[in-house]
Structure 1
Amino acid sequence: MPNLLILAALPEEADALFPGTGTSDRAPIPLRRLTTHAHSLTIATCGLGKVNAALATGLLGADGDLILMTGTCGALGAAPGAYWIAEALQHDYGAAHPGAFRRYRAGDWPMGEAGAAHFAAMPDPGLGLPHARIASGDSFIACPDAAADLASLGATLVDMEVGAVAQAAARLGKPWAAIKAVTDDANDASGGDFQANLARAARAAAGQIERLVAMQ
């Protein structure tokens, strides 16, 4: 039976996925385990940020056949809705030069010519969702200027975890995928918009992850 690890940063995001099913374990990372569609699922609430996401992936991902992430994100010009994350990068990994910050693929030596900075997800099995590149970093983006800088990297979404999950999955040699739904526009209204839209967006992403699990 294939083992799937599904990560969510927040309890609201994890609880929206196959709600009310499975058995729970609280330590050291909150988990819920269940069987569905002939798959063994571990749903982990990893916590916010890149370190938490990478730690959970490293601790739990070695036994997984596929590493998934569900949850919410900010938009960098993208329309509301759920997105298939085709590419992920870490926007705060690189080298600081006078007047510029040069991004590198996370884990690469941050000197010399920079190559492609992103990690590529597994092929889309045909969910029919729009594709996006997401920029991940350890900051909540609530500033139009910061959002414009990230958009210049070709990203249309921003979050705090997917890029780290992608890096950790690559180190483990595991395929990965993520589906994120928009809560806010990464501007000065983002704090309130995030809270107002969290439950709706979490469920939108979870519903698509449930479809993805059924297709595996």
Structure 2
Amino acid sequence: MARILILAALPEEADALFPASGRREAGPFALRHLIVHGHDLSIATCGLGKVNAALAAGLLGAEADLLLMSGTCGALGAAPGAYWLAEALQHDYGATHPGRFRRYRAGEWPMGEPAEAHFSAMPDPGLGLPHARIASGDSFVACPDAAADLTSLGATLVDMEVGAVAQAAARLGKPWAAIKAVTDEANGDSGGDFQANLIRAARLAATEVERLVATI
């Protein structure tokens, strides 16, 4: 039996996973516990942003065999749908120099020549989803210029949590995976589009996470 921690930033994203099932537990993070396909699952609503995501991963993930994240994201030119997040980086970690911002792998010294800044997920077990690199940071991106800057990092999706979960998993020595579905295009319409598409996209990502759990 694998012990799997599934993180979701928002209640709507957490509730979309294995809906109306499990035993609820109060605490710093809303939790549901359930047994699915022979695995011991804990579904946690961690809250928005990198600090919340990393704190939940650290507090709840120490005894887990695998850290997963489900939820929603913005698109940086990517088509609508759900994605297997093969790589994650933190776009707001680095060093500010005159006229430029240099990105480094989160947690490493932001000095000298930067190497690859991303964290790699566990191997895809064959879900058939498109793969993507996601850029995470503590800001909701609703600006085409900011979105264009993130595409220069090789990212096609943007969110506020996965990069932090990936860093926490690396520090804990745990494998991680994430599946997210697009709500908006990281532009001036993103606020309204996010609200309009949240429930649909959350369930789309959750459906794929449920398929993943069944394959493990």
Please give the secondary structure, in 1, of the residue aligned with 2:69.
strand
Identity of matched residues, %: 80
Shift of 1:44: 0.3
Indicate the residue corresponding to 1:31 in structure 2.
31
Indicate the residue corresponding to 1:126 in structure 2.
126
TM-score under structure 1 length normalisation: 1.00
Please give the secondary structure, in 2, of the residue aligned with 1:63.
coil
1:111-122 mapped onto 2 (5 Å cutoff):
111-122=111-122
Alignment-mate amino acid for residue 163 of structure 1:
G
Indicate the residue corresponding to 1:45 in structure 2.
45
Indicate the residue corresponding to 1:214 in structure 2.
214
1:32-111 mapped onto 2 (5 Å cutoff):
32-111=32-111
CA distance in 2, matches of 1:193, 1:2: 37
CA distance in 2, matches of 1:23, 1:37: 16
CA distance in 2, matches of 1:116, 1:152: 13
Please give the secondary structure, in 1, of the residue aligned with 2:62.
helix
Establish whether residue 152 from structure 1 lines up as the match of residue 152 from structure 2: yes
CA RMSD of superposed structures (Å): 0.3
Please give the secondary structure, in 1, of the residue aligned with 2:207.
helix
TM-score under structure 2 length normalisation: 1.00
Alignment-mate amino acid for residue 61 of structure 1:
G
Alignment-mate amino acid for residue 105 of structure 1:
R
Shift of 1:178: 0.1
CA distance in 2, matches of 1:43, 1:112: 40
Please give the secondary structure, in 1, of the residue aligned with 2:205.
helix
Shift of 1:35: 0.2
Count, aligned residues: 216
Please give the secondary structure, in 2, of the residue aligned with 1:47.
coil
Alignment-mate amino acid for residue 88 of structure 1:
A
Return 5+ residue gaps in structure 1 as ranges.
none
Return 5+ residue gaps in structure 2 as ranges.
none
Kindly provide the CA deviation profile for residues 77-113 of structure 1, in whole angstroms up to 9, marking residues without a partner as x.
0000000000000000000000000000000000001
